Structure 1
Amino acid sequence: MKLVLACLAALVAMASAKVYFSEKFDDAAWEDRWTVGSEWKPENQMGKWNWQPSLSDEADKGIQTGEDARFYSLTAPLDTEFTSEGNKLILSYTVRHEQNLDCGGSYIKLVNPGFDAKKFGGDTPYAVMFGPDVCGTSTRRTHAIFTYKGKNLLTKKNLRVETDNNPHRYTFVVSPDNTFEVRIDGEKVESGSLFDDWDFLAPKMIKDPAESKPADWVDEAKIPDPTESKPEGWDDIPAKIPDPEATQPEDWDEEEDGEWEPPLVSNPEYKGEWKPTMIDNPDYKGPWVHPEIPNPEYEEDDKVYAVCNPCSHVGFELWQVKAGTVFDDIIVTDSEEELKEFEDATFNAKKDAEKKALEAKKEAERKAEEEARKKAEEERKAAEAAEEDEDEDEDEDDEKDEL
């Protein structure tokens, strides 16, 4: 009977598994499926998106930020609106930095319905923001942000980020038991509780504002021994004394050099600063603990995971100093099985070829740089030789004129 129930549960789960959105950018019609937020910023501040082939396959395309120091905005509707309650949320996509990334975001958002796609930007409300953000050495992290009751909540954890030129797969999983998991290239890099790693709820207890530490509270555990006093003559012993072994140099001239004084050295009899012995304080009451009371602002919520109520779009709103980031193979689903099938057909199927193609590209660039360096060196030597020949010709002409 247990086996039958388990099989039925598995069948129900399979039947309910759903892909709400997937995008591979492999056909030119991708532009019809996405809307550029062209009105977010002035036209001269908005960057253009390129339709970019992968390193290993011309037919495998992604979209790329195409202009330096620009804002980028792009949204697409989900095939079906996604509601979090009772469902696992899986948001996964691939990021590849062709540039040497110095400052720029490459995160993705899940957006609630009712916004203007042409004006989609940094001020547009969203449900989830996830993905890499790098700027210098101060910001190097993968963001995981929820919007809860109108507030954007950042995770307390510093999530790992990849900044090399290889494609990397970023996956965010949020479960109905209020747990989460972050994966990079299929590897779990962080997991835990939404309650522990975000400030969804106010604290249950707070310090009683009506209470304060009594003025006569003694919280010094140790005090100087009142029966002790500094020994007589303690301060008469100096820390430094003239070096008894030093002698005046033979060439010392008092008229020119002044009166000779031996250098100072540490006094072996110096005992340092006198301090009385510390003893237990007989009046010590221990550390004062501020009494707590129930927080009137605390509200129980066992569904903080349900941030999509619903989510209708995926979107990018970015700023990049150096452009060149490629985005590809996006999926929004509630099924680990659907995610695996999608990743096996996309990222996992081509990651090795992409890595080899990148290595080959870098090697070709290295050789080209080496050839350019050699050519420049040869041209420099040739110029120097020509200049020497010209100087010799001028010298010969000068000799002829003298004759």
Structure 2
Amino acid sequence: MKIGLILALVGIVAVESKVLFEESFPDTDWASRWVQSEHKGKEFGSFKLTAGKFYGDAEQDKGLQTSQDARFYGISSKFTPFSNKDKPLVIQFTVKHEQNIDCGGGYLKVFDCSLDQKDMHGESPYLLMFGPDICGPGTKKVHVIFNYKGKNQLIKKDIRCKDDVFSHLYTLIVNPDNTYEVLIDNEKAQSGDLEDDWDFLPPKKIKDPEASKPDDWDDRPTIPDPEDSKPDDWDQPEHIPDPDANKPEDWDDEMDGEWEPPMIDNPEYKGEWKPKQIDNPDYKGPWVHPEIDNPEYTPDSEIYKYDEICAVGLDLWQVKSGTIFDNFLITDDIEEAKKIGDDSWGATKEAAKKMKEEQDEEERKKAEEEAKAAGGDDEDEDDEDLDDEEDDDLENELEHDEL
């Protein structure tokens, strides 16, 4: 029994060791694990723990919700430091813009242990930033920003984020072979090579500074035909006096000035003459600048690596509050992240949609009833007006009879 128990515990530790940070707000004591920024000069909004207006499970879907409009938000949580050297790094969380956000961030930041949590702000150095950002119709993207040698590098590809009111699962996978993958709702949204999709390193090749296009290089595919010449009758005015126009009979030259017929388009006008084009017998094709190896390029097989990962935080600005953040996860196990995503977000998403649809239907019916009631009042008023008119007509008839 004891041996079996020990083996079971070892197995649990082996599984749990893959999860480096996890926060799904299972209790009301979340504030003891998260630190609110008190950075001077910014008016920070407060977070509250809630599942929102609609949800699949009232407890499981609870997360941190922004609660005040037009505010900065700054909150973070630290954990045991680790390095992702030679291992995948998986960053995952859910974002629910149930307020139908118009402008605001929905991303997280990952920091090393130097982060001053109570002074966290927009200029605090971070290791990576990941998640959705929405502002108007023009900005609806997923940020993937890495800090490489002290400089923040933005992804060169566009990744569109979800912009509805439901909860969505965002996952970033960084592999030790310098490749990456972005998942939205456990489906691939983008992938590639770190070196190709960010400007971490100088280009491998550069244009040869010693090379230049030869003076006799002709890159014109066609040239004007030297045998072609402009016809003698080509030049015609674009507009001519209307030959069908006549001077009005009441036209007075002394009062109205000298009469001139209106101008019309000249049917003989042919536009600007240009000689026809022929194939250029001296054409050599487009000149391509030769390239050489870039002496400033040095390969880096560890672009992906961070020696110390220690904290995760929300550093945001939101015009309209109401976003709920939940199911934070940092792990080195890609399959485990997918499973946790399915067991958390995936387990309640359909029920949440159903609840929202039911709420929408109730609101629709209520609006119809209110409109109908308002219309009924108008009809009653119309009936009263009609009754008053009939009474007036009857009185007029009686008065007419009396006369």
Shorter chain as normaliser: what TM range? 0.7 to 0.9
Q: Percent identity?
A: 47
Q: Is the 8 A contact 1:254 1:260 kept in 2?
A: no
Letter in 2 for 1:163: D
TM-score (norm 1): 0.82
Instruction: State the distance in 2 between where 1:208 and 1:16 align.
Output: 54
Instruction: State the distance in 2 between where 1:368 and 1:134 align.
Output: 32
Letter in 2 for 1:57: D
Partner of 1:301: 300
Partner of 1:275: 274
Given candidates 251, 256, 259, the residue that maps to 1:256 is 251
Where 1:365 maps in the other structure, the secondary structure is helix
Partner of 1:51: 49
Q: Is the 8 A contact 2:242 2:261 kept in 1?
A: no
Partner of 1:86: 86
Where 1:362 maps in the other structure, the secondary structure is helix
Instruction: State the distance in 2 between where 1:140 and 1:158 align.
Output: 10
Q: Is the 8 A contact 1:26 1:62 kept in 2?
A: no
Partner of 1:287: 286
TM-fit CA distance, 1:198: 1.5
Partner of 2:200: 200
Partner of 2:76: 75
TM-fit CA distance, 1:212: 3.9
Partner of 1:30: 30
Partner of 1:341: 339
Where 1:142 maps in the other structure, the secondary structure is strand
Given candidates 343, 355, 358, the residue that maps to 1:357 is 355
Letter in 1 for 2:276: T
Is residue 335 of structure 2 the alignment partner of residue 331 of structure 1? no
Gaps of 5+ in 2: 1-10, 253-257, 392-403
Instruction: State the distance in 2 between where 1:75 and 1:26 align.
Output: 17
Instruction: State the distance in 1 between where 2:234 and 2:91 align.
Output: 74
Where 1:234 maps in the other structure, the secondary structure is coil
TM-score (norm 2): 0.82
Where 2:350 maps in the other structure, the secondary structure is helix
Instruction: State the distance in 2 between where 1:234 and 1:166 align.
Output: 68
Instruction: State the distance in 2 between where 1:329 and 1:164 align.
Output: 19
Structure 1 vs Structure 2 CA RMSD = 3.6
Partner of 1:7: none
Letter in 2 for 1:305: Y
Where 1:145 maps in the other structure, the secondary structure is strand
Larger mean Cα displacement after TM superposition, 270-279 or 128-137: 270-279
Instruction: State the distance in 2 between where 1:143 and 1:367 align.
Output: 40
TM-fit CA distance, 1:277: 3.2
Instruction: State the distance in 1 between where 2:369 and 2:74 align.
Output: 40
Pair 390,144 (structure 1): closer, same or farther in 2 beyond 3 Å: farther
Pair 277,299 (structure 1): closer, same or farther in 2 beyond 3 Å: same
Pair 376,122 (structure 1): closer, same or farther in 2 beyond 3 Å: farther
TM-fit CA distance, 1:294: 2.7
Letter in 1 for 2:64: I
TM-fit CA distance, 1:259: 5.0
Kindly tell me the number of residue pairs found equivalent between the two proteins.
379
Pair 345,290 (structure 1): closer, same or farther in 2 beyond 3 Å: closer
Partner of 1:158: 158
Please give the per-residue CA displacement for 1:225-281, whole angstroms capped at 9, x wherever unaligned.
33443233432x44555677xx558xx7333398584763552x5544322233444
Instruction: State the distance in 2 between where 1:213 and 1:280 align.
Output: 22
Please give the per-residue CA displacement for 1:36-90, whole angstroms capped at 9, x wherever unaligned.
1122543xx2101011125233323111000000000111112x32312201011
TM-fit CA distance, 1:324: 0.2
TM-fit CA distance, 1:305: 1.5
Letter in 2 for 1:254: E
Letter in 1 for 2:311: H
Please give the per-residue CA displacement for 1:322-368, whole angstroms capped at 9, x wherever unaligned.
00000111111011232133223311211111111111222233334
Letter in 2 for 1:331: L
Q: How does 1:228-267 map to 2 (within 5 A)?
A: 228-235=228-235, 237-239=236-238, 247=244, 253-256=248-251, 259=259, 261=261, 264-267=264-267
Q: Is the 8 A contact 2:111 2:128 kept in 1?
A: yes
Letter in 1 for 2:292: I
Letter in 1 for 2:85: E
Please give the per-residue CA displacement for 1:66-120, whole angstroms capped at 9, x wherever unaligned.
0000000111112x32312201011111111111210000001111111210111
TM-fit CA distance, 1:291: 3.6
Q: Is the 8 A contact 2:56 2:350 kept in 1?
A: no
Pair 41,166 (structure 1): closer, same or farther in 2 beyond 3 Å: same
